[in-house]
Amino acid sequence: MIKKRKIGNLDLFVTEIAMGTAPLGGWPIAVDENKALETLETAWNNGIRYFDTAPLYGSGMAELRVGKFLKNKKREEFVISSKVGRIIIDTDNSKATEKFIGSPNDKDSNFDFSYDGVMKSFEDSLHRLQVNKIDILHLHDPDNHPDHFEQARSGAIKAMIKLKDEGLVKALGCGLNQNEMLIEFAKEGCFDCFLLAGRYTLLDQTSLDALMPVCENNNISLILGGVFNSGILINPSPESYFDYAKLDSNWFENLSKSLVRIPKDFESAEYWLNKANNIKNACENFDISLKNAAIQFPYFNNTVSTCILGMNSSNQVIENIEDYNKKIPSNFWQYLKDEKLIDGRSKIK
């Protein structure tokens, strides 16, 4: 059984595991439609009732697949979130196919944080998802260009508030891989949740510095993505990824160029690999898998409502739910604190 938690101050509850659908849009490998629908069915049959998607994922392909699956389910039985900030366009030369493998060659996405752009993006998502309302609407990646923050404040956020006032959306959120801009967005006073990727995990708890207190004080729930930090918390090695960049000698430079977030001066591939391997060794001492610990760590914090796990097969769904349910002794978490392998402020009970 998968428990549910509340979003903000709303009468909206989500399962503690959410189905992340970027993999169903072809990241990082192609997934055919039958396998995608089978994966969604396995998630449903095992109790997952929150499905997160976005126009970006496969240039609309993930939304189409989610919509095809959910159209036969009772609307009141599931929660769905999608995102605004990009418009899907027709093109003769899609660059999206380089990242979302198997996505349409004639579709791509452009950033658009204008009022009208959000309204169009929302209407397009409703059509692809075959629904007339979206439960949670996230502002998506407004940190990829210096102008996007102000564009979102003057256009996108106003459109999102209108959609919520009209009852077409229940909750407003913002999805980012960094803490700093979310702290600024909290000042807008309209957000019910933030989709934070990678900054409150078994490896990286930097959201405890400022973002987490801001969320607690403003009743903003955290929806966590990237609980495996792109793979390093499954099997740390120079071939694994952290923040979508391979942990080789070029990691710092590649992450900086990617605009996922700006790494701090102390960060390096060696730094993160050493930290991950020390945590992995601790897990092995307690006969626990690193993946098992990574999945369970966030739930001790009540600000966290759910963790979005990107999955592209039925086996991945079943494995993740097993790790969610597998008991971990409390002295393991205390050991991590005592050895300073996690931030001392982290909740562990």
d(CA 257, CA 244): 12
Identify whether 52 is a catalytic site residue.
yes
Element (H, E) at 290: helix 290-296
Contact status, residue 17 vs residue 2, Cβ threshold 8 Å: yes
Q: Let me know if 108 is a catalytic residue.
A: no
131: left (phi over 0), alpha (psi -120 to 50) or beta: beta
The token pair that represents 53 in the structure block: 């998607």
**What span, in angstroms and rounded, lies between the C-alpha atoms of 120 and 25?**
21
Answer whether 81's CB lies under 8 Å from 173's CB.
Answer: yes
* Catalytic residue of the set 6, 32, 50, 57: 57
Which of 6, 35, 73, 83 is labelled catalytic? Answer: 83
Other beta carbons within 10 angstroms of residue 183's beta carbon come to: 17
**CB within 8 A of 249, min separation 6: which ones?**
269
Cα(134)–Cα(299) distance, rounded to whole angstroms?
25
Helix (H, G, I), strand (E, B) or coil at 309: strand
| Catalytic site includes residue 4 | no
Of the candidates 4, 6, 35, 52, the residue annotated as catalytic is 52
Owner of token pair 């801001």: 214
The catalytic residues are 52, 57, 83
